Amino acid sequence: MIRRRKKTPERTVPHTRLQSDAELTRLYRFESKLGEGTYGVVYRATQLQTQTLWALKEIHKPEPGHSRWNLLDNEIQILQKVDHPNIVLLSEVLHTAQV
C-alpha cells in the first residue's frame, strides 16, 4: 500500500514592491554576508522596526521571459509551504527594480 502525503497548504506570505534598494536599507540593517551562490547572496540582517535578526536572500532576477523565472517562482511556492522549527522560514518577499 502506498501512502499519499497530504498536500501542504501554502502560508500567506506578503509580497511587497519597493521602488529601490534604498527602501530596503530603511527596513533592514545589513550586517554581514553569510553565503553566496549562483543566483544570489544571503545576508545576516536586522529588521529595524522589530530588532529581529533574519537571513535575507538577495536573488538576482533574470531577464523577463528567461527560464529561470519558473525556478524562482517554484522556490517561492515551496518556501511558502515550509513551516517547521528546524527549516528556513519565508516571512516576506520584497521586490525591487534593481534586484
CATH H superfamily, domain 15-95:
Phosphorylase Kinase; domain 1 (3.30.200.20)
- The mean predicted confidence, pLDDT, of the chain is 86
- Region 31-43: mean pLDDT is 92
- Residue 97 contacts residue 22 (beta carbons within 8 Å): no
Query: What is the Cα–Cα distance from 93 to 59, expressed in whole angstroms?
Result: 11
> pLDDT tens, 84-96?
888 888 999 998 8
Question: What is the spatial distance between Cα 57 and Cα 36, in angstroms, rounded to a whole number?
Answer: 9
Feature table: binding site for ATP? 57
The kind and range of the H/E element at 26 are helix 21-27
Annotated binding site: 57
Nearest to 54 by CA among 83, 84, 85, 31: 31
pLDDT of residue 87: 83
User: Which residue would you say has higher pLDDT here, 48 or 68?
Assistant: 48
Q: SS3 helix, strand, coil % of the chain, rounded to 5?
A: 20, 30, 45
Q: Which has the closest alpha carbon to 97: 39, 22, 25, 5? A: 22
